[in-house]
Structure 1
Amino acid sequence: MTFTLYPAIDLKGGQVVRLKRGEMDQATVYADDPAGQAASFAAAGFAWVHVVDLDGAFAGRPANAAAVKAILGAVPGLPVQLGGGIRDMKTAGAWLEAGVARIILGSAAVKDPDFARAACKAFPGRVALGLDARDGFVATEGWAETSDVTARDLALRFADAGAAAIVFTDIARDGMLSGVNLELTADLARAVPIPVIASGGLAAVGDIVALKATGAGIAGAILGRALYDGRVEPAAALAAALA
C-alpha cells in the first residue's frame, strides 16, 4: 500500500496557522499567502495537500473560500482535500465542482450521518470522514464539543458507506509535536476496511517509519507543525514514506 503524506494548510482569517490541541486562541501564524504555501508544497514533491477551514469548522459553513480558491488556482496539478464547514450537499457539491479532489466531513459524520452517507454515495471516492478524538471520543464543531461516540465505533458505523478515507486525529497531540498515537491509529486501521490517515502530533521522520511499521496498513499521515518548524524536511519525509 502506498503511504501518502499530506502537508497541512490550516486557514484562519485567510492566513496559514497551526493550532495547539485545536484551541483557536493558540494559533501561530506561519504565512499570509496560502496559495504560495501550497505552491511550495507542490514544488517539494508532495502528491496531495490537506486544507482545513478552521473558521468554517466553528461557523458550520465555509469561511475562507477565497483562500481555498486561491490554493486551487495555484496548484492545478496537486489534488487538494478540504475539511471545515461542509455540512450539506450543496456545499459539498460546490467544493468538488470548484476543483477540490476530496472533501472531509467531520461534525456531519456525528450530527448528520444520513447526509454523510448520502455524500459518500453521491460522490464516490471523493468523500473522507474526519474523526477527531479527545480521550477516544469524537469531537465536533471545530473540536468545541465532545460527543459520546468513540472514534472506533463511529468508523465501524460507516464501514459500508463507501468513504474514500478516514482522517483520524488525536486532539491531545495535535500541534504538540509529541508523536502520533500509534496504538489508537493502528487499532482503527485494523478495525475498518477504509484507508486511515494519521493526524496529530507527528514530530519527526521516525513517526512516519513507526506508522508504517505497525503493519496495520495505515494509508498516510498529515504533516503540520513539524514541517513548518523545520523539524521534518520534505525530502526526508517523502523518502521515508516511499521506503
Structure 2
Amino acid sequence: MKFGIPVYPGSNCDRDVGWVIEKVLGHEVKYLWHKERDVKGVDCVIVPGGFSYGDYLRAGAMAKLSPVTEAIYEFAQKGGLVMGICNGFQILLEAGLLPGAMLPNKGLTFVCKFVHLKVENNQTPFTRLYEKGEVVRIPIAHAEGNYTCPPETLKEIEENGQVVVRYCSPEGEVSEEYNPNGSLNNIAGICNKRGNVFGLMPHPERASEAILGSTDGLRMFKSIVEGVLTA
C-alpha cells in the first residue's frame, strides 16, 4: 500500500507520519511537494501537521491554494481516502473538504499536551479498529484548534454521525472541563458525509509507539491499511 504525504513550506510533521507508515507499519510513502499537481498512484493521502506557509492569514488559508491541495481535493471528490492531522485538518477545512472553520484557542495560547478522546464513530475507514465509545490518549499541539461552524452545520454533522472523536475525561465524560481549546461540543475530529475525508487536531503519529507514551493512535493508520487491503 502507498501513502501520499504532501509537504508544504512550513510542514514539520511529514516525516513523523512517514516514519509510522514506513518503519512501524512497513508500507510505502510518497512525499508530495506542494507544487505537484497530481497524487496518482497513492491509496491514501495524509496531510500532516506543522505551520504551512507560516500560518499567515489563517492556518491553512494559503496552503489551500497550492497545486497539490487542488490535486488532493480532486482525489477526495473521486472517493480517495484523505486524512488531515492538526494543520492538515485546518487545510482540509480551508479547502472545503470538511465543514466548519478553526478559531484561536479559547485561552489564546499554544496548547501542547496529552488529551483523552472519545471515539464517537467507529464506522469510518480511519476508526474501524476502535470500539464505539472507547477512550484513547493522544497528544495535541496547536494554537488554532477551536472548531466552529454555524448552528445548522453543527446540527447536521451531529445528526449524520460526522463527529468522529471528542475531547473527554479519562473516563469518557464529555464536558467543558476537558475541552482544551473551546471547540464546539468538544469536537476533536470530523469526517465528511461520505466518510472518506477525516480531519482531527490530535496527533495520532505521536501516539504510535510505546516509547512515545501511548500507542492509541496507531490503530488509525492500521484501520486505513486494513480497509484498503481487504477491500
Give the shorter-chain TM-score range: 0.3 to 0.5
TM-score normalised by the chain length of structure 1? 0.38
